[in-house]
Amino acid sequence: MTAAVLELRDVTRHYGGKRQWLGRGAAIRAVDGVDLTLAAGEVLGIVGESGSGKSTLGRIAAGIEAPSSGMVTFQGQRYAPIDTAAWRRQRRRVQVVFQNPSQALDPRLTIAAQIRGVLAAHGIEALERGVDRTEAILSRVGLTGLGTRFPHQLSGGQLQRAVIARALVLSPEVIVCDEAVSALDVSVQAQILNLLKDLQAELGVAYLFISHDLGVVRHVSHRIAVMQRGRIVETGPASEVFARPQDPYTRSLIAALPAATPAARRARDAARQAA
């Protein structure tokens, strides 16, 4: 991989505990001392159960939420304070694809209007060398001719393609995918995952791919980081993490995956007994 595009160093995010009769309870440690590096053009999968802190980590990595402590750098520079002009310039280069596309889109505007609105907000011309950026990106994600439709007129898979198009039209260097396919049917999941892989290979954009589904993360990731209770307990190349998991929590996640065939299940059980 090439040089790092995004780095997190000893990042924490704590939330104040609930007020109790004798005072405030203990703080909730959503992210607790995380170190991560995302290389340019890399897909880094973040996997963990619900409540492990992975979505909070994704918001911090995207610059949407500030850490309680620690440092986040993009292209070697620390994130600017949220809502400043410098922060908005950085946010153009780091985009997010969220879990529920219907909530991420404005139901009152057509898909094309929402993409053009993003371009206008960042001062980018809609036409580049005579080519309509909006139509070009919609075509690239498989939505040719659907820009005039409103969100309610699209299927779940089409809505997620529209959200991906809206992120990609700004030519970002990093996209944080936060449970980007978990709300979709299995067959549609495969289509969106293949689209994301194709776009990554073609455009060289880096993904921070967050999911509770280890099988999905395995399908798209170069490296995997396993998160438990706000901490990264294991990280490494995807093939090595699956073949030789080191942490007991990682082994339990992999053991819960359905085996593709009875022979694969027997081989996995034998390897687990030998360990």
pLDDT per residue as tens digits for the range 177-211: 999 988 888 889 999 999 999 999 899 999 999 99
pLDDT at 274: 54
pLDDT of residue 273: 57
Report residue 258's pLDDT band, with 50, 70 and 90 as the boundaries: confident
Better-scored residue on pLDDT, 19 or 229: 229
Which residue ranges make up each domain of the chain? 4-238, 245-275
- Report the chain's mean pLDDT, rounded to a whole number: 88
Cα→Cα distances 250→45, 134, 227, Å: 13, 42, 9
- Chain-centroid distance of CA 259 in Å reads 26
What CATH number has the domain spanning 4-238?
A: 3.40.50.300
Give 262's strand partners.
none
Strands (E), 145-205: 174-178
Taking residues 97-124, report their average pLDDT. 92
What's residue 28's pLDDT?
85
Least confident residue range of 21-35, 166-180, 227-241: 21-35
| pLDDT of 103 higher than 70 | yes
Cβ(204)–Cβ(172) under 8 Å?
no
- Assess whether pLDDT exceeds 70 at residue 270: no
- Mean pLDDT on 68-72: 95
What average pLDDT does this structure show over 55-73?
95
For residue 184, the model assigns a pLDDT of 87
pLDDT at 37 over 90: yes
CA pair distance 258, 270, nearest whole angstrom? 15
pLDDT band at 20 (very low <50, low <70, confident <90, very high): low
For residues 117 and 250, give the distance between their C-alpha atoms in angstroms, rounded to a whole number.
42
pLDDT in tens, 225-249: 999 999 999 999 999 999 999 999 9
- Percent of the chain scored above 70 by pLDDT? 89
Report the C-alpha gap between 240 and 72 in whole angstroms: 27
Considering the chain, what percentage of its residues have pLDDT values greater than 90?
Answer: 68
With a cut of 80, say whether residue 130 has pLDDT above it: no
Dihedral (Cα; 102, 108, 110, 114), 10-degree rounding: -80
20-29, 117-126, 183-192, range with the lowest pLDDT: 20-29
Is 0.85 topped by the overall pTM? yes
Contacts of 143 (CB under 8 A, 6+ apart): 111, 158, 161, 162, 165
Q: In the prediction, which pLDDT does 23 show?
A: 57
